[in-house]
Structure 1
Amino acid sequence: MEGPEPAEGEHILNLSRLGLDNLNLEQISDERRKEVQQLLLPDNRLVVLPPAVAAFTQLSLLDISNSTTAYIGEEILGLTRLKTLLAKNNRLDEFSLPKEMGSMKLEVLNLSGNQFEEIPSQLLQIQTLKTLSMGGNRLKSIPAEIENMISLEFLYLGGNFISHIPPELANLPYLSCLVLCDNRIQSVPPQLAQVHSLRSLSLHNNLLTYLPREILSLVHLQELSLRGNPLVVRFVRDLIYTPPTLLEMAGRTIKSRGIPYSPWELPGNLVRYLDLASKCPNPKCGGVYFDSCVRQIKFVDFCGKYRLPLMHYLCSPECSSPCSSVSSQSESDSEDEAMAAARRMQKVLLG
């Protein structure tokens, strides 16, 4: 066996780029194994994570990238101090990880460039995880249980086959960077605007034709990448309207005329329904809507250069908004507010 590369420090053991399928970790002294905090094993031929890794009890970082690894056994569960696991560009899939991996205290996990078709359920249980990278896999969806990863700050899922963004992403209180580029996403849920910690949102090379108006409330967003979407290549306008039900018509009348109501006069379900009324954004209209509304594309200037199509809702087809025309020079108060919010963005990568 060829000797290991010189250590970069007493706490680092670098056995990378040896191209070996057996690193003979058992030959390393017990004393040395107990002092190593970073074990670097990339660019080898480790089909299975060597069981001897379990003896490196002080590990905080383990790198097995580019090693054709197809299976990680339960020995990794004994690495109770492990914070960072790098295993990109291997042959791992959802059956390659130990079932109890959710009990680990990982903070950084990089599984990009593997063969995952779904995010393993045990990973969704790691509440200490701050960074999850699974780009370049075969993922078709993001499970709603992603909301359980309450410490997540960086989520990279670019280069997959994802078509839907679950609204549960809005329940991640510390998410600051979300990368969903090079997927098949057709729409962005308005709930995403609730992630006020979001600084960077990468959506380029998807199938987006519009963004929800709520996206402008992301006041801390510094980078929004949209190039390679139909909304950049060509602007599409849409009009969809379903006539209101009798329940909605009654609700609209009560709300628009200011008729008082209370839980002592109406059943609880009707009170809750009335409390869900949305105000029409047209400043010339005092109406409200519940389930029935006109869905239109509203164009908003970004950075004084681009006109970005945002989803816009009106209470009826007759309620024409001054913002509905691309060529209109008059701007309502609501559009002024939207443009002010848009100018907060430091980078809008459309080209």
Structure 2
Amino acid sequence: MFALPGSAMDVLENMEGDNVLNLSRMNLETLAALEDMSEEKRKETHQLLLTHNRFTVFPGNAACLSNLLFLDISSNGLAHICDQILGLSKLKTLIAKNNRMDEFSLPKDFGKMNLEVVNFSGNRFEEVPPQLLELQRLKSLSLGGNRLKTIPAEIENLTSLELLYLGGNGIQSIPPELANLPYLSYLGLCDNHIQGLPPQLAQLNSLRSLSLHNNLLTYLPQEILNLVRLQELSLRGNPLVVRFVKDFIYNPPSLLELAGRIVKSRNFQYSRKDMPANLVSYLDSASKCPNPKCAGVYFDSCVRHIKFVDFCGKYRLPLMHYLCSPQCYSPCSSNSQSDCDSDEEFNIPQHRMQKVLLG
């Protein structure tokens, strides 16, 4: 990739074999110079960079680059994309960040393109244009830093989507239809006004990163623990963390369990000669509390405990601890890693540890 000083014609004449035409920062308003470009060079051009110019309307003659795969027209005054862009039948990536586009800026048949990556962050969209929801091959959609208030239920139509970034908008709620995206692995919802998440999000089996920082979340659905592939959960700037830990329901142990705990914790000997077979089976089913400072056991009643572990200024989250009682642990300081903050305390396998960014 290169850009030589001078006119656009200089760049065209010196274009080399890397198939990238860089016309950024040249104060351009049109692409008239492309008319003088040889047919061979047009076919060889796979990437076109037009950032930081003065385009208010998409330059239609860019459609002569019939093999174009990548187009970046960010940081212009772009307010409208004309129908000529539909001629770029091979275009896979369209980046148009930091412009003046809104939901009326796209051509009617924009949804028929074969785009896989669209980045319209930093524009003026108040709604997600319906044309974007028709891009069947779309894998990455970025609409951060716009003026969105809602996410349409039709987002579920983007069944190939792997990345969805909607940070920096005014979104207040998440439609449950978002959970119908089978390949979604990154979901960015930070810097919005979201107060809660639908439990259906637990169906996002491919989700690896969920960015929720700087919202108004006061709770998370407990179903989120079913996201077994989740590797990073960003929660900083929300008031939910303490409540998330404390809201798990603890059912007190029955008299049977209390008696069983005493038998097991005091190592009383028992056999089928001493009691019915069903009671022997019950006692044999005891689970040892994983807290090394506790010698207790549990049967049916346990505490599901989320533990935040300090790690180099960030946080990692074991998906779940099963403790024998609410008194089995004491809160640890988040400013230092004490004995109770060590990974060894509960012997959680590394692959079950998740990053939780709290600050």
In the superposition, the TM-score normalised over structure 1's length comes to 0.71
Kept in 2, the 8 Å contact 1:221–1:344? The answer is no
Counterparts of 2:44 and 2:124, CA distance in 1: 34
Q: 1:307 to 1:221 in 2, by over 3 A?
A: closer
- Report the equivalent of 1:48: 57
Give the superposition deviation at 1:106. Answer: 0.4
Give the superposition deviation at 1:233. Answer: 7.7
Q: Does 1:102 align with 2:118?
A: no
Which of 141, 149, 152 is equivalent to 1:132? 141
- Report the equivalent of 1:203: 212
Give the superposition deviation at 1:33. Answer: 1.6
- Report the equivalent of 2:344: none
Counterparts of 1:179 and 1:130, CA distance in 2: 14
Q: 1:304 to 1:91 in 2, by over 3 A?
A: closer
- Report the equivalent of 2:272: none
Q: Deviations over 1:256-304 (max 9, x none)?
A: xxxxxxxxxxxxxxxxxxxxxxxxxx956xxxxxxxxxxxxx8632348
Q: Higher Cα Rg: structure 1 or 2?
A: 2
Kept in 1, the 8 Å contact 2:245–2:306? The answer is no
5+ residue gaps, structure 2, are 1-5, 249-298, 330-346
- Report the equivalent of 1:300: 306
Kept in 2, the 8 Å contact 1:216–1:342? The answer is no
- Report the equivalent of 1:12: 20
Counterparts of 1:22 and 1:307, CA distance in 2: 51
Give the superposition deviation at 1:76. Answer: 0.7
- Report the equivalent of 1:188: 197
Give the superposition deviation at 1:32. Answer: 2.0
Give the superposition deviation at 1:46. Answer: 0.4
Q: Percent identity?
A: 64
Q: Does 1:117 align with 2:116?
A: no
Kept in 2, the 8 Å contact 1:13–1:40? The answer is yes
Kept in 1, the 8 Å contact 2:245–2:305? The answer is no
One-letter code aligned to 1:301: K
- Report the equivalent of 2:328: 329
Give the superposition deviation at 1:307. Answer: 12
Kept in 2, the 8 Å contact 1:18–1:44? The answer is yes
- Report the equivalent of 2:97: 88
One-letter code aligned to 1:302: F
Counterparts of 2:64 and 2:310, CA distance in 1: 59
Tell me the matched-pair count.
Answer: 280
In the superposition, the TM-score normalised over structure 2's length comes to 0.70
Give the superposition deviation at 1:96. Answer: 0.4
Kept in 1, the 8 Å contact 2:139–2:160? The answer is yes
Question: Greater relative contact order: 1 or 2 (C-alpha under 8 angstroms, separation 6 or more)?
Answer: 1
Which of 161, 165, 182 is equivalent to 1:156? 165
Counterparts of 1:111 and 1:89, CA distance in 2: 8
Counterparts of 1:179 and 1:341, CA distance in 2: 27
Kept in 2, the 8 Å contact 1:147–1:172? The answer is yes
5+ residue gaps, structure 1, are 240-281, 285-297, 311-321, 331-338
Superposition RMSD on alpha carbons, in Å? 3.3
Give the superposition deviation at 1:126. Answer: 0.5
Counterparts of 2:31 and 2:25, CA distance in 1: 11
SS of the counterpart of 2:210? strand
Q: 1:223 to 1:203 in 2, by over 3 A?
A: same
One-letter code aligned to 2:210: L
